[in-house]
Structure 1
Amino acid sequence: MKMTYRYFSCAVISIALLLTSCKKLVDIDEPIDTVTSAKIFSSDEQANQTLAGMYSQMVSSDGTLSMLNGGATMYGGLAADELSLSNGVLFAEEQEINSNKILVNNSVSESVLWMQTYKTVYTANAIMDGEAASTAVTLTKAKRIELKASARFFRAFSFFYLTNFFGDIPLPLSSDYRKTIRLKRASQLEVYEQIIADLKEAISLFSDPDAPVMSKTKANKVAAQALLARAYLYIKDWDNAENYANQVIANSVYQLEPLKNTFDLNSKETVLQFTINPSTNIGKTNEMTHFLPLFPLSLLPVADQELFLDPDNYESFLPALTPRIIVPEQLANAFEAGDQRKTAWLDYNPSPVAAPYFGRKTYFANKYPNSETDKTNYVLIRLAELHLIRAEARAMLNKNNLAAEDIDLIRNKAGLGKTTAVNQESLLTAVAQERKVELFAEWGHRFLDLKRTGKALSVLSAIPGKEGITADDLLFPIPPLEILANSNLTQNPGY
């Protein structure tokens, strides 16, 4: 069976299974053999179950990693200079990503990043096709708008990450496998054109007077404006990047929050967030299960800390003190003196001061609430990024004073003074620094920033273990089974 058809089938089956598992599902006498069946889109209630299925699929309700639920953050961070493996021997395929020497058959690249994200694309396509095919008068205009706009948004969101990890990619715009099974790779420019078209259509739909009331836990107009600002930044359309960032920032619903409240459940800084399934992650974001050690010593009484740090005990406790994914020292040292983000969003476990440990610190990301009592959602987009998008766009447009104002808002939030940057070059350096320490361990921003600004090779090749990487190593491999199934599909250079 062709692989592209396999992913389409997975999307169909996933929605069908998710529908049948949802509460209060209306009984359906006849079997549904395709997601675009009018049966699924015959009422608002069934449409709600379909949307719930798409969200559940994206957040991997079984707790596994996917591109859109921890994968972009974790593997983008490993491919950059902000995360590292504590033990590359135990996790060989992740070590390939950490060293930027990915083998062509890497299953993380195929299953977590490629396949799961294309499932979301096909599900979004199926929702759009199903809504268009439905003639049911019991499917209201408001629900039709929500279906079409949400599907457009998440298709754009998926394409954004696929093209940034894999480069040129197939661009399926239909759930009909006969139209998509032989697709060639579209250029990255064509992918961005589709992303922009989808987001503009989503904004138009969400602007309709009959559109549903906006919710931060669902695709919405402001989230589409925010992602559109990001897309324009990536294609260097500075005017539009500034314009759409302006629209988000001008909305009084959103405000920068103190560091300790940034990721809270009701944070005003959040533009879009997913609800975390408490039965799988116990209040943690998916990647935090990999970022945190079993015992963060800073949370323990001093007597217990001393017990763990006793040289006679330390080696036996070391596995419980070391998370799977650590923050390397070069990032920990990148924070300016007095930057409160270092203490608020980073933690570390010390080691005994005696040889051979010498008080070495193992840093780990601690940005998000991570206990059963600290409720949080999974933040996809937040306002701080929009200020940094606008700052960069304004610097490129030589609006230096305005760019500095945006930078200062982010710095002030972190307890720092105003930027000393005054011209375009220094302002762009200041933006890059703020993005590095503000957005670390979030959605692979650092990896994508290094690539889009042309700094990836010079920065990453200086890191031990990443020496000698080339431009080819900055893209992930197209899954070989996809290429075997579709002769029109080609592999990335170097694989």
Structure 2
Amino acid sequence: MKKIFIVFVVALLFVACGENFLTEEPIMQQSTELSLATYKGLDNSVAGAYAPLVSVNWYGASFVLDAEMRSGNGYRDPDKNSGRYTVPYNFTYTSTATPALWGTAYYLISAVNNVIAQLDGKVGIDGVTQQDIDNIHAEALFLRALAHFDLVRTYAKQYTIDKTALGVPYVKVTDPAGKPSRDPVETVYNNIVEDLTTAENLMAPNYVRDEIADPKSTADKLAIQALLSRVYLYMGNWQKAADYATTVIKSGKFIMWEKDKYAAAFKEDVPGEGEVIFEVYGLKSNEYDGYWEGISRMTSPLTDAYSDCAASNDLISLYADDDIRGEMFLNNEEKAPTTFWTTKYAGKDKGTPDVSNTIVLRLSEMYLNRAEAITRGATISGVTAVSDLNTIRAKRGASELTSAGITDVMNERRLELAWEGHHWYDLARTGGSITRTHYSGAEQNQNIPADSKYWVLPINKRELDVNENLEPNPGY
């Protein structure tokens, strides 16, 4: 294996968990005292490695919100914001004003690399089987692949636009003294696929991590396969994107939310029978939870919330009258009567408003992935793009379509996956552009053409300063 090194310039420390942390809530903290010398220590370390996903730098807030605010789905109410999220909304990115995902994602990558490096020699000790080792190995590979995937589509050109462009360092072996250069986008994606297909082969079909409150907050085989569907879609490998989506759909493990269950599904503490394949579990006591800076407060019109990330009328106006998805918005009649915010992060139904889970993979996306892949040349016996779109639309109260081309598919993706962090990346990988009419920001960046530098965001100057082998993105 090629040895790759990296310097970590952020200090993100896990703190020790209580005695019953495995049984009471999902593990969102990892003790630095946990030993990697035993299977139990390795298992706990993998569980703890999910923790950074809930950071405000990632699925706990800005990875999703930044994408929505720059995609045309977001709006900043002039009278109901705190000054946060102005950079993505106004496109005033610089090397010192850019997403902080880099350090958080590589911290997670370091954690799982440390586990992978210590897996040998544990079989047969205290009843540990090879399958036990393979399962946590697969989880670690899933997390490593997901982290690199989010990094490369944020800080590099999309695979379908220029796969020869500079991507991000794909770190398989971590050394704190190392200074890796950026791998090409194609190399990054090939490594992502290798990690995910290896994880798919390693993990037991019915494996679910024990003793966690939310089983969907850790990876299983179907989560791995769902992520493969998305990755192949981003690569333009339409047949494999469709095939993996079909595998997940036909598993029988998930069902589409009914119209009258749709809004409540986003408030569940632990998903019941429904669409969630993989999500990030929200809990106020999580070490990484941002609370006031978290996704729920940033998308809330409540008086005591920051409320910086409202929804644009450009998005809301796309929904038909009977479409339940068009009702997933709420205003503040006193402070901002004409502005609306998404309710996908309105807080869990636990007696009083709480933080929300962030859904990363769900069944609707699999139908949308397959529909797009079919319109671009994939074939699945007995399935058409219009049938997949209508499977979704029928459950949302929207009128069914009689035909479906790529424009219909991309429009449905925007309607269904709004405020889940997809639309910006869909535009980026398809060479799209942004035109905003409901807009309150700086006029010079109101519209973003397809050739804008902003489709590739700058790497933080701090990272460039400590690693001279990192080449900056042009224009910053």
TM-score by length of 2: 0.81
Write the letter of the residue equivalent to 1:6: F
SS in 2 for 1:177: coil
State the distance in 1 between where 2:292 and 2:96 align. Answer: 31
1:209–1:274 CA distance, 2 compared to 1 (3 A)? closer
- State the Cα distance separating 1:363 from its structure 2 match: 0.6
Among 52, 68, 86, the residue aligned to 2:59: 68
SS in 2 for 1:271: strand
- State the Cα distance separating 1:73 from its structure 2 match: 0.9
Match of 1:23 in 2: 19
Among 264, 267, 271, the residue aligned to 1:266: 271
Match of 2:239 in 1: 239
Match of 1:380 in 2: 360
SS in 1 for 2:36: coil
Q: Is the 8 A contact 2:368 2:413 kept in 1?
A: yes
Write the letter of the residue equivalent to 1:430: D
Q: Is the 8 A contact 1:229 1:241 kept in 2?
A: yes
1:398–1:232 CA distance, 2 compared to 1 (3 A)? closer
Q: Is the 8 A contact 2:75 2:312 kept in 1?
A: yes
- State the Cα distance separating 1:86 from its structure 2 match: 3.1
User: Is the deviation greater in 240-249 or in 256-265?
Assistant: 256-265
State the distance in 1 between where 2:305 and 2:7 align. Answer: 45
Q: Is the 8 A contact 1:163 1:188 kept in 2?
A: yes
SS in 2 for 1:380: strand
State the distance in 2 between where 1:460 and 1:490 align. Answer: 32
User: Is the deviation greater in 475-484 or in 407-416?
Assistant: 475-484
Q: Is the 8 A contact 2:277 2:363 kept in 1?
A: yes
1:24–1:52 CA distance, 2 compared to 1 (3 A)? same
State the distance in 1 between where 2:7 and 2:122 align. Answer: 23
Match of 2:101 in 1: 113
State the distance in 1 between where 2:46 and 2:379 align. Answer: 42
State the distance in 2 between where 1:385 and 1:10 align. Answer: 35
- State the Cα distance separating 1:36 from its structure 2 match: 11
Query: Is 1:346 aligned to 2:309, yes or no?
Result: no
- State the Cα distance separating 1:468 from its structure 2 match: 6.1
State the distance in 1 between where 2:326 and 2:294 align. Answer: 22
Match of 1:305 in 2: none
Q: Is the 8 A contact 1:284 1:370 kept in 2?
A: no
- State the Cα distance separating 1:271 from its structure 2 match: 0.5
Q: Deviations over 1:282-341 (max 9, x none)?
A: 99994112101225xxxxxxxxxxxxxxxxxxxxxxxx5982211111111121232111
Match of 2:300 in 1: 292
| Greater helix share, structure number | 1
1:446–1:452 CA distance, 2 compared to 1 (3 A)? same
1:207–1:147 CA distance, 2 compared to 1 (3 A)? closer
Write the letter of the residue equivalent to 1:51: V
Query: Is 1:420 aligned to 2:402, yes or no?
Result: yes
Match of 1:175 in 2: 174
Instruction: Summarize the alignment of residues 11-410 of structure 1 with structure 2, pairs less than 5 Å apart.
Output: 14=13, 17-18=14-15, 20-23=16-19, 40-60=35-55, 65-87=56-78, 94-106=85-97, 109=99, 112-132=100-120, 137-138=125-126, 139-167=128-156, 168-178=167-177, 181-207=178-204, 215-258=215-258, 259-263=262-266, 264=268, 265-267=270-272, 268-279=274-285, 286-295=294-303, 323-343=307-327, 345-350=328-333, 361-368=338-345, 370-371=347-348, 372-373=350-351, 377-397=357-377, 402-410=384-392
- State the Cα distance separating 1:224 from its structure 2 match: 0.5
Higher Rg: 1
User: Is the deviation greater in 112-121 or in 247-256?
Assistant: 112-121
- State the Cα distance separating 1:88 from its structure 2 match: 10
TM-score by length of 1: 0.78
Write the letter of the residue equivalent to 1:447: W
Q: Deviations over 1:368-396 (max 9, x none)?
A: 45143388643221100010000000111
Match of 2:432 in 1: 455
Query: Is 1:492 aligned to 2:469, yes or no?
Result: no
1:149–1:5 CA distance, 2 compared to 1 (3 A)? same
Q: Deviations over 1:106-131 (max 9, x none)?
A: 1x52xx32111111111121111122
- State the Cα distance separating 1:135 from its structure 2 match: 7.5
Q: Is the 8 A contact 2:37 2:118 kept in 1?
A: no
Match of 1:310 in 2: none
Q: Is the 8 A contact 1:122 1:175 kept in 2?
A: yes
SS in 1 for 2:402: coil
- State the Cα distance separating 1:204 from its structure 2 match: 0.5
> Taking every aligned residue pair, what percent have the same amino acid on both sides?
23
Give the aligned length. Answer: 431
1:406–1:209 CA distance, 2 compared to 1 (3 A)? closer
1:420–1:360 CA distance, 2 compared to 1 (3 A)? farther
Which stretches in structure 2 are left out of the alignment for 5+ residues?
22-30, 157-166
Q: Is the 8 A contact 1:79 1:447 kept in 2?
A: yes
Write the letter of the residue equivalent to 1:21: C
1:75–1:321 CA distance, 2 compared to 1 (3 A)? closer
Which stretches in structure 1 are left out of the alignment for 5+ residues?
26-34, 296-319, 353-358
CA RMSD of aligned residues (A): 3.4
